Amino acid sequence: MKIRSMTAHDVPRVLAAWNHVLKHDHLTEQRFRGVMLGDPNYEPEGVLVAEDDAGVVLGFSACVVRREVEGKDGGGGEHDYDRGFLKGFFVVNGKSGAAAAGQLLSRAEAFAAGAGKRLLTVVTYDGPYAYPGVDVRYQRLRRLLARHGYQDFYTIECVAVDLRSPQVDRMLDEVRATLPADITITTWDPAMLPAMRKFVEEGNMPGWFPVDWESSYANPQQTTLILRRGDEILAWAQFRPRHPRASFGPILVLPRVRGNNYGAVLLLESMIRARDAGCLEMFAGWANTGFYVRYGWNIVRRFAVLRKRLS
C-alpha cells in the first residue's frame, strides 16, 4: 500500500471511488476539485490518497489547518484555532480499506499535530467543504472512526420546506404584523457598506465575513436581504433561488436584538421570493433546527460531528 499526496491528475479516479463508497454524498468533479484542491488553506501534505500496488484507490483523506488565526481563507477565529479539520475521508470496504484507514488517519493526525493543533474534527469547517459532518447512515464509517479514537460530540441537521404550502403567506403576514413601523426590509445595495461594516464587526462571524468580505458586496444583490432600523443594519440573510430547490442561509441577527421575529421575517421573505422565482422547495444546511421547524420545515439529513484529541 502507498500513501501519497493527491494530485490534480488523480482526481477522476479518487472521485469515482468517493462516489461509489459515499452513496449519499456524490460530488461533481468541479466541486471535488474546488473543495479539496482549491481551498486557500490547502497543503499537499494534508490531502492524501491510499492505493494498492496496482494503483487501485483504497481511500482518501483531506485535512486542513489554519496556521494563523484567520487562515489563508480569512474565515478563522480564536474559537477554532486549536483544531485541524478532516473535511474529506473515505476508505473502501474490506481489510484493505481498514488498513488504509489506519494509515490515512495517522498521517492526518500527525499533520494537524505538527501544526500545533490539539484536536482533529470531522468536520464543522466553514472554509470550502463538501458536507458538515459524517452522514449518520454511514454506520461502518462511524464505527471505523470510533475504533481510531474519534468520538461523536454533536449532530448537525439539514432541513427543507415545500414552498407551495398555502401557510407561507399567512405566516409572513403574521410575523410582519409584529414588527415596529421603523423596521424595513430591503435587498443589498453597496450604499449600505458603512452600516454593514458595523454589523459585521458586532456580529463577529468571520466564517461568513472573512477578511476580504467587502469585495463580495461591491454590487447590488437581489438575494441578500437586509433588515434595518433607520440606517442601522440589525439582521442579514442570503438565499439562492436555484430550480427546483432553492437554498437558504446563512442568516445573522445581532444578539442584542434577537427575540423580535427579525430572523423569522427574513426567512419567510426569502421563502416567498424563492417561490415567486419558480422554486418548489427550499433547503438549509447546518441548521438551527428549532428555528426552522416553527415555520413548516422538516429535517431531511443528519450528520455526526466527530473529534479526536491529539497527543
pLDDT band at 9 (very low <50, low <70, confident <90, very high): very high
Rounded Cα distance between 264 and 172, Å, is 8
Return the CA Rg of the chain.
Answer: 21
Residues across the chain:
311
Q: How many domains does the chain have?
A: 2
- In this predicted structure, what is the pLDDT of residue 151? 97
* Residues 139 and 244 grouped into a single domain: no
134 and 205, same domain (yes or no): no
pLDDT in tens, 175-196: 999 999 999 999 999 999 999 9
Strand (E) or helix (H) holding 33: helix 29-36
Residue with cell 487501485: 56
Residue 234 CA to residue 199 CA, distance in Å, equals: 7
Is 226 within the bounds of a domain? yes
Per-residue pLDDT of 210-254, as tens digits, reads: 989 999 999 999 999 999 999 999 999 999 999 899 999 999 999
In terms of domains, do 122 and 176 share one? no
- Between strands 281-287 and 119-122, the pairing is unpaired
Buried b (16+ CB within 10 A) or exposed e, 209-228: bbeeeeeebeeeeebbbbbb
Asked if residue 207 belongs to a domain, the reply is yes
My answer on whether 236 and 180 are in the same domain is yes
φ, ψ for residue 103, nearest 5 deg: -75, -40
Residue 40 is predicted with a pLDDT of: 97
C-alpha dist (Å) from residue 279 to 161, 164, 242, 270: 11, 9, 7, 11
- pLDDT by residue (tens digit) across 124-176? 998 999 999 999 999 999 999 999 999 999 999 999 999 999 899 999 999 99
Q: 84, 63 in Cβ contact below 8 A?
A: yes
What is the pTM (predicted TM-score) of this model?
A: 0.87
Q: Which domain holds residue 228?
A: 164-279
Could you tell me if residue 296 is inside a domain?
Answer: no
Asked whether residue 290 is assigned to any structural domain, the reply reads no
Nearest to 50 by CA among 87, 12, 89: 89
Q: Are residues 51 and 23 in the same domain?
A: yes
Decide if 261 is inside a domain. yes
For residue 80, tell me if it sits in a domain: yes
> 124 and 13, same structural domain?
yes
> Is residue 311 scored above 90 in pLDDT?
no
First vs last C-alpha separation in the chain: 26
**pLDDT(116) > 90:** yes
Q: Which residue has the cell 421563502?
A: 271
Q: What is the pLDDT of residue 211?
A: 87
Q: What angle do CA 302, 206, 193 make, to 5 degrees?
A: 120
The answer to the question of residue 289 being in a domain is no
- Are 249 and 138 in a shared domain? no
Is 28 among the domain residues? yes
Task: Identify the pLDDT of residue 192.
Answer: 98
Query: What band does 285 get if pLDDT is binned at 50, 70 and 90?
Result: very high
Residue 60 cell numbers, joined:
482518501
Per-residue pLDDT tens over the stretch 24-79 = 999 999 999 999 999 999 999 999 999 999 999 999 999 999 999 999 999 999 99
Residues 147 and 176 both lie in one domain: no
**Span 189-211, mean pLDDT?**
95
Q: Cis peptide before 166, with omega less than 30 degrees from 0?
A: no
For residues 122 and 22, membership in a common domain is answered with yes
For residues 151 and 28, state if they share a domain: yes
Residues 188 and 232 in one domain: yes
Q: What is the mean pLDDT of residues 266-290?
A: 96
Domain of 102, CATH number, reads 3.40.630.30
User: Is residue 239 domain-shared with residue 134, that is, in the same domain?
Assistant: no
